[in-house]
Amino acid sequence: MAEHNDLGIQGEAIAAKFLQKKGYTILHKNWRFKRDELDIVASHQEFIVFVEVKTRVNSYVGNPEEAVTKGKQQRLIRAAHAYMENYQTDLEARFDVIGIIKNQHNEEIVHIEQAFQPRW
Q: Convert the pLDDT of each residue in 16-54 to its tens digit.
A: 999 999 999 999 999 999 999 999 999 999 999 999 999
DSSP state of 30: E
Helix residue ranges per DSSP H, the chain: 3-21, 70-87
* Structural domains of the chain in order of their starting residue, each with its CATH number: 3-116 (3.40.1350.10)
pLDDT digits (tens, 9 = 90+) for 105-114: 888 999 999 9
Q: What is the pTM of this model?
A: 0.91
